[in-house]
Structure 1
């Protein structure tokens, strides 16, 4: 019989709020760089918080990011943990769970993928879609046809390049470089991290051999 692990988190749901996809649409199809920076800084902090708790979301995208709109600055919550699992820094996964057009190149090429580099890639996709009209598509990246807004600041472009590189190990290394982090601290005050909203229940089946391979998890999010 397989073992069962359950983690229940009880947290808030802001009112009023919309998902980031709708928020971008309401702002004309793309965001000013300064506003995107406020959102991404919070998203990075939230991703680090999840990583410290050994939680791998696996499907960070604009539809799964809730934006509180009743405050002076947009405040971020990550939602929809239906594909998430428990993971460590050394975890490797063979089968991709998430949005196919947002998958990192290593998944497209049939290679194993790791939590950290995958999350960094997905944050890059979120930022790209926030700053450009239209959706990101992995095939456009693979075919070297991805177009960048020529009006982006050098720091912003460095951050995007750090996230959207086809070498997983370089994503983590570049993200730690001061040139990539510099974007967050130019002109914009640090935004306060707001926690994940909702009630989240994680189920994980595992056996002794399964623990080090492909975790199976299910998540239900129940909102107030």
Structure 2
């Protein structure tokens, strides 16, 4: 019987989708560049594919940082759950079709006894949403609407493939600053979607709902919707609504910017104290605020979205 941290996951495989060779194979195929970021998830570097010069992001994960493991069919070795989930979402040699709003895994390698290397696509003009908001301040509602709609659609795609991200936040959303399109990244805290409650959480605490703070349990979709409420508040107000456990439990955000009543309504619905009172992803997309325009005009001229990389 598998350890409770392990999961069986079914992936449609091609003949080429096998456990990768070690660092030598990686070094033949890719060049590693400057460090882009690091944290509990590992380290991410800029990189380049040798064969055609394609710009990539290279994530290095040591074995002791892997939160969950999975077993791919026909493979003797366990792999990080993140790799298994990305394969299911259409990465690497998977036959599944991916989604334009979910980052695509291009390749992955195992370094025996050390860890894993994951290679991702990397838009040339990109910036994570945390830095985007930090530099520009609170976003105009049409921009926030455009971003939120794309995030929800990406999460719907994940759910349709029985995957829950569990760490939706501004730092895990890449913005293409030339187009205003987004991609969800970092499935290191992700899991297979299930109807029963979860009792483990490796996401970001200030994005977690009251039921987790109080009872150490939650269901996938109400967790996701709560985090979307935090994200929308963050976008239109310039910062997250809650910093402490006590604030999360009160579930009463104090709006620090003048925003429309419709936008406030959607935020408060997502941040409902009781999980059963929160909307579904479909409800969010059909909310009156979401029916407003997300035409943000010429991105190059809009001061809230001008590239500054």
Which interval holds the TM-score relative to the shorter structure? 0.7 to 0.9
Cα distance, 1:181–1:156 mapped onto 2, change above 3 Å:
same
> How far did residue 157 of structure 1 move?
1.2
Q: Deviations over 1:26-67 (max 9, x none)?
A: 21x211111111100111111111111111111110000110
Counterpart CA distance in 1 for 2:167 and 2:149 is 18
Structure that is richer in helix per residue: 1
8 Å CA contact 2:225–2:281 kept in 1: the answer is no
Report the equivalent of 2:141.
Answer: 33
Report the equivalent of 1:133.
Answer: 238
Report the equivalent of 1:98.
Answer: 203
Q: 2:158 aligns with which of 45, 50, 62?
A: 50
| 1:109 aligned counterpart, secondary structure | helix
8 Å CA contact 2:126–2:175 kept in 1: the answer is yes
> How far did residue 132 of structure 1 move?
1.5
Report the equivalent of 1:207.
Answer: none
**Matches of residues 52-131 of structure 1 in structure 2 within 5 Å?**
52-71=160-179, 74-88=180-194, 90-131=195-236
- Structure 1, unpaired ranges of 5+: 191-224
- Structure 2, unpaired ranges of 5+: 3-7, 9-70, 73-83, 93-103, 105-120, 297-309
Cα distance, 1:39–1:174 mapped onto 2, change above 3 Å:
closer
Cα distance, 1:83–1:174 mapped onto 2, change above 3 Å:
closer
8 Å CA contact 2:284–2:290 kept in 1: the answer is no
Higher relative contact order (CA 8 A, sep 6+): 1
Report the equivalent of 1:162.
Answer: 269
8 Å CA contact 1:102–1:125 kept in 2: the answer is yes
Cα distance, 1:77–1:148 mapped onto 2, change above 3 Å:
same
8 Å CA contact 2:210–2:251 kept in 1: the answer is no
Counterpart CA distance in 1 for 2:271 and 2:251 is 12
8 Å CA contact 1:102–1:136 kept in 2: the answer is no
TM-score by length of 2: 0.55
Counterpart CA distance in 1 for 2:221 and 2:252 is 25
TM-score by length of 1: 0.74
Cα distance, 1:117–1:84 mapped onto 2, change above 3 Å:
same
| 2:147 aligned counterpart, secondary structure | helix
> How far did residue 148 of structure 1 move?
1.1
Counterpart CA distance in 2 for 1:173 and 1:42 is 15
